[in-house]
C-alpha cells in the first residue's frame, strides 16, 4: 500500500486499525504534545494481540489470572489508551481528549495505579521489558505452587528499539532465557528509528542473534501483515519452552503521506494538515475527530463476553479447589496479621553482631511466617545475608524455591523485583552493597513512583567496610536515597533496630524500603531514655535512646554504626558534667512526618545539636540547625583497615566529644 493514495479500507478490521491510529493522532494533536509514530506503526500488531490473544476482563482489570500487557515503549501511550478505551475499560472518550492534561487518566506515559489496565509505569526505556520478566517469573512461580488450573496466564510486551538499546533490558532478558520463561513474549517494534534518526547511527547489532544467544525463540514478521502477526502470536503462545521475541518490521508513522518512516513522527504531533491527509489515506473522514463507528467498538469488544465467562469460570475453580483459598491469601496477604505472628529475633545487650547478619536472622523469622517472601542478591548472597535457609534456589527446572541468583545484574534485579511486586503473590526483597544502589537507582525510583512494596537490603554501608576503598564506600548514597519520595531509608544500629526496620518495611505498603546495614559487628544496645522500645522508636523514625543524666545541654543525633560512637562520646561528656542526650535516627523520612510536638520533644530548641553519620553532612542542617555541627565525611573514603579510617576521619569518641563541646562555648 502506498501512503500517498487513499487506502479506502474495505474491511472492518482495516477500519478498526485505522481508527486506533486516528485516535492517537487526534489526542496528540489536541494536546500539541506526544509521540504519534509508535501508535501508528504498531496499530496492526496491537490490534491482533488485543482482539485475538490477550486474556483480560475489561470489567475487572485486577483479575489475578489475566494476561499482562506491558507497553515498555511508554512514550507510545496513546496506543495503549486507545486500546483500553476501544475494548471497554473504564477510560472514556473524554479522557482521550484530555490526553496529557491535569487530572486526566491519560498522562504522557502510562502510570501504574492511575489508569485501569496499566500494568506498570513505563517511560524510562527498558524498564517495562525488565519488569515484565518479573511478572513472568511471578506467574511461573505461582503456577509451580498452585497449578495451571488456578494460575494460567501470559505476559506480553511491546518494546521499541530504545528499550532494547538500554542495558537493563539485556540483563533482564538474559535471566528470562536462563529461567526459560516460556510465557513471556516480546513484540519488538523494529522500525529502525529513534528520536535522532535512523538506528544505524548508533545501533548496528543483530538484535535477533543477541536474543537467540540469550536463550530466546525468535520470530520475524512484517508488522503490518496482520495474518503473519496472528500466526506469530499463536506460535509464541504455544511454545512454552523459552521466551519469544517477535521482531515486527514496521514503518513508524504508518499511513502518514509525508512523514511515514521519518523520525519526525517519533516525538512531535503531525500537524493539522498531516493528520487530515493521513485520514484521507486511511479512508477516514478528515473532518471527524475522536470518532469511532459502532461496529468498530463491536469488533474490539467481540470477545468480551467470552473473556468474562473465562473469568467467572476461574473464580469457580478457585472456590472449589483445595488450594484456592491459599492462592487468594497469597494474592491478598494480611500483612498486619502476619507481622504480628513473626517470632522476631533478639539478643542480650552487649552481644556483638553486624546488622547484615542481624538482617539474615530476621529474614529466617519472616520467611517462616510469610510463604510469599522471595529473596535474592546480585552475586553477593553470603555477604548480604539474603539467603532464606529453609529453601533452595529457583531454576528453570524448579520454580518453587524462595531464593533467586540474580548474578551481577543490579539494575535488572531491581526491575524484576518491581515486576514481581506489581504482579502479586510475592513480597520481593533483593540485596547488594549499598554503593551499588547507583547501578539500580532507576529501578528503585520506579518502585517508589509505583508505590510498590519492594525491600532493598543494602550492606557494607559506609567507609567502615575498610580496605576495599573509596570505590566501595558509599559516602553520598544515604543522602541521595533520602531524597526519593515514598522510599523509606532505614539505617539500624543493632539487632533490635534491624528487626524493627524489617517490620516497618513489611508494614510500609505505600512504597519500597531500603535497609542499610553494616559489614562490621555492632554491640546490642541497652535502651533506657523514655522507656521506648526499638520498634516504637524505629516506627517513629527517631527517638531518645539515652537520656542526659545532668541538665540537658547537648543532643547527639546518630544513625547505624555511629550510634554506639555517640553513646561513647556521651559518656565522656557526662563525665565532664555536660548533660548529653543520644537520639537514634534510623529513618529520617518517618521522623519528618511525626507530629511537631514529638519532634520538638526529641530535638528541643534549647539544646545544642551535633549529628554523627559516616557520610556527607549537607542535609543534617535541618536537624542540627544553623548553630549546630556535623561529624561526617564530605570527601570520598580511602583504602585502609576500618579502625584506621575511623581515626583518620574523626569517628572516635574523643573527636565527637570535642566537636560537641565546641558548640557549647560558641
pLDDT one-digit tens code per residue, 205-255: 999 999 999 999 999 999 999 999 999 999 999 999 999 999 999 999 999
Judge residue 638's burial from the number of C-beta atoms within 10 Å of its C-beta, 0-12 exposed, 13-18 middle, 19 or more buried. middle
Domain boundaries, the chain: 12-307, 335-523, 540-664
Q: Is 42 in contact with 189 (CB distance < 8 Å)?
A: yes
pLDDT one-digit tens code per residue, 345-395: 999 999 999 999 999 999 999 999 999 999 999 999 999 999 999 999 999
> For residue 666, what pLDDT is reported?
61
Tell me the CATH class for 12-307: alpha beta
Q: What is the pTM of this model?
A: 0.97
Distance CA 578, CA 608 (A): 11
pLDDT one-digit tens code per residue, 589-611: 999 999 999 999 999 999 999 99
* CATH classification code of 540-664: 3.40.50.920
> For residue 10, what pLDDT is reported?
72
Place of cell 479500507: 9
Distance CA 390, CA 377 (A): 16
> For residue 529, what pLDDT is reported?
56
> For residue 305, what pLDDT is reported?
98
Comparing C-alpha atoms, which of 146, 165, 167, 143 is closest to residue 155? Answer: 143
pLDDT one-digit tens code per residue, 314-341: 999 999 999 999 999 999 998 888 999 9
pLDDT one-digit tens code per residue, 184-208: 999 999 999 999 999 999 999 999 9
The span from the first CA to the last CA of the chain, in angstroms, equals 83
> For residue 9, what pLDDT is reported?
58
> For residue 635, what pLDDT is reported?
95
pLDDT at 2 over 60: no
Distance CA 169, CA 411 (A): 9
Q: Which of 119, 260, 410, 613 is catalytic?
A: 410
pLDDT at 4 over 50: no
Distance CA 313, CA 310 (A): 5
Backbone angles phi, psi at 227, to 5 degrees: -65, -40
- Determine how many CB atoms are found less than 10 A away from the CB of residue 412: 31
Residue 497 annotated to the active site: no
Distance CA 77, CA 114 (A): 13
Q: Is 171 in contact with 359 (CB distance < 8 Å)?
A: no
CATH 3.30.70.20 fits 335-523, yes or no: no
> For residue 532, what pLDDT is reported?
87
Identical fold at 12-307 and 540-664?
yes
pLDDT at 65 over 50: yes
> For residue 422, what pLDDT is reported?
98
Q: Is 373 in contact with 403 (CB distance < 8 Å)?
A: no
Cα torsion angle, 300, 305, 311, 313, sign: negative
What is the average pLDDT across 28-39?
98
Amino acid at each position: 500500500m502506498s501512503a500517498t493514495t487513499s487506502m479506502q479500507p474495505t474491511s472492518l478490521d482495516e477500519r478498526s486499525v485505522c481508527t486506533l491510529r486516528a485516535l492517537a493522532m487526534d489526542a496528540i494533536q489536541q494536546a500539541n504534545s506526544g509521540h504519534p509514530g509508535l501508535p501508528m506503526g504498531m496499530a496492526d500488531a496491537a490490534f491482533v494481540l488485543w482482539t485475538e490473544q490477550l486474556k483480560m476482563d475489561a470489567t475487572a482489570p485486577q483479575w489475578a489470572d489475566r494476561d499482562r500487557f506491558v507497553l515498555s515503549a511508554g512514550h507510545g501511550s496513546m496506543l495503549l489508551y486507545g486500546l483500553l478505551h476501544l475494548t471497554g475499560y473504564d477510560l472514556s472518550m473524554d479522557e482521550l481528549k484530555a490526553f496529557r492534561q491535569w487530572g486526566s487518566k491519560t498522562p504522557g506515559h502510562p502510570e501504574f495505579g492511575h489508569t485501569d489496565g496499566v500494568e506498570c509505569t513505563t517511560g524510562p526505556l527498558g524498564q517495562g521489558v525488565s519488569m515484565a520478566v518479573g511478572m513472568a517469573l511471578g506467574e511461573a512461580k505461582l503456577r509451580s505452587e498452585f497449578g495451571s488450573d488456578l494460575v494460567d496466564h501470559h505476559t506480553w510486551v511491546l518494546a521499541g528499539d530504545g528499550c532494547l538499546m538500554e542495558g537493563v533490558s539485556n540483563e533482564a532478558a538474559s535471566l528470562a532465557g536462563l529461567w526459560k520463561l516460556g510465557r513471556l513474549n516480546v513484540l519488538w517494534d523494529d522500525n529502525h528509528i529513534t528520536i535522532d534518526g535512523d538506528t544505524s547511527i548508533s545501533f548496528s547489532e543483530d538484535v535477533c542473534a543477541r536474543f537467540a544467544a540469550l536463550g530466546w525463540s525468535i520470530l520475524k514478521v512484517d508488522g503490518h501483515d496482520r495474518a503473519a502477526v496472528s500466526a506469530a502470536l499463536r506460535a509464541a503462545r504455544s511454545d512454552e519452552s523459552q521466551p519469544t521475541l517477535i521482531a515486527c518490521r514496521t514503518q513508524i508513522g504508518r499511513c502518514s503521506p509525508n512523514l511515514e518512516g521519518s523520525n519526525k513522527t517519533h516525538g512531535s504531533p503531525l500537524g493539522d494538515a498531516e493528520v487530515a491527509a493521513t485520514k484521507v489515506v486511511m479512508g477516514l473522514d478528515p473532518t471527524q475527530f475522536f470518532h469511532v463507528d459502532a461496529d468498530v467498538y463491536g469488533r474490539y469488544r467481540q470477545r468480551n463476553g467470552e473473556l468474562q465467562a473465562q473469568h467467572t469460570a476461574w473464580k469457580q475453580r478457585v472456590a472449589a479447589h483445595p488450594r484456592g483459598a491459599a492462592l487468594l491469601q497469597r494474592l491478598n496477604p494480611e500483612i498486619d496479621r502476619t507481622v504480628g505472628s513473626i517470632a522476631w529475633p533478639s539478643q542480650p545487650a552487649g552481644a556483638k553482631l553486624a546488622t547484615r547478619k542481624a538482617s539474615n536472622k530476621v529474614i529466617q523469622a519472616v520467611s517462616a511466617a510469610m510463604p510469599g517472601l522471595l529473596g535474592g542478591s546480585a552475586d553477593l548472597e553470603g555477604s548480604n545475608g539474603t539467603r532464606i535457609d529453609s529453601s533452595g534456589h529457583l531454576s528453570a527446572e524448579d520454580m518453587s524455591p524462595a531464593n533467586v541468583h540474580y548474578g551481577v545484574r543490579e539494575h535488572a534485579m531491581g526491575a524484576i523485583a518491581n515486576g514481581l511486586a506489581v504482579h502479586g503473590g510475592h513480597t520481593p526483597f533483593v540485596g547488594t552493597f549499598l554503593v551499588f544502589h547507583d547501578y539500580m537507582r532507576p529501578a528503585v525510583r520506579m518502585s517508589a513512583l509505583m508505590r510498590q512494596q519492594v525491600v532493598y537490603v543494602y550492606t557494607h554501608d559506609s567507609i567502615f567496610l575498610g580496605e576495599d576503598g573509596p570505590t566501595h564506600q558509599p559516602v553520598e548514597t544515604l543522602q541521595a536515597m533520602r531524597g526519593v519520595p515514598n522510599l523509606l531509608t532505614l539505617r539500624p544500629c543493632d539487632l533490635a533496630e534491624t528487626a524493627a526496620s524489617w517490620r516497618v518495611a513489611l508494614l510500609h505498603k505505600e512504597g519500597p524500603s531500603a535497609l542499610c546495614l553494616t559489614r562490621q559487628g555492632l554491640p546490642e544496645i541497652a535502651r533506657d531514655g523514655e522507656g521506648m522500645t526499638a520498634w516504637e522508636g524505629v516506627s517513629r523514625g527517631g527517638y531518645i535512646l539515652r537520656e542526659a543524666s545532668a541538665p540537658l545541654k547537648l543532643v547527639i543525633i546518630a544513625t547505624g554504626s555511629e550510634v554506639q560512637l555517640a553513646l561513647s562520646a556521651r559518656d565522656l561528656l557526662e563525665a565532664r558534667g555536660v548533660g548529653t542526650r543520644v537520639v537514634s535516627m534510623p529513618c529520617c523520612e518517618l521522623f519528618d512526618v511525626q507530629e511537631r510536638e514529638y519532634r520538638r520533644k526529641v530535638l528541643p530548641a534549647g539544646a545544642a545539636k551535633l549529628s554523627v553519620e559516616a557520610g556527607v553532612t549537607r542535609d543534617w542542617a535541618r536537624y542540627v540547625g544553623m548553630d549546630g555541627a556535623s561529624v561526617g565525611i564530605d570527601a570520598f573514603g580511602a583504602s585502609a583497615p576500618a579502625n584506621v579510617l575511623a581515626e583518620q576521619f574523626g569517628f572516635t569518641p574523643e573527636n565527637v566529644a570535642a566537636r560537641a563541646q565546641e558548640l557549647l562555648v560558641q
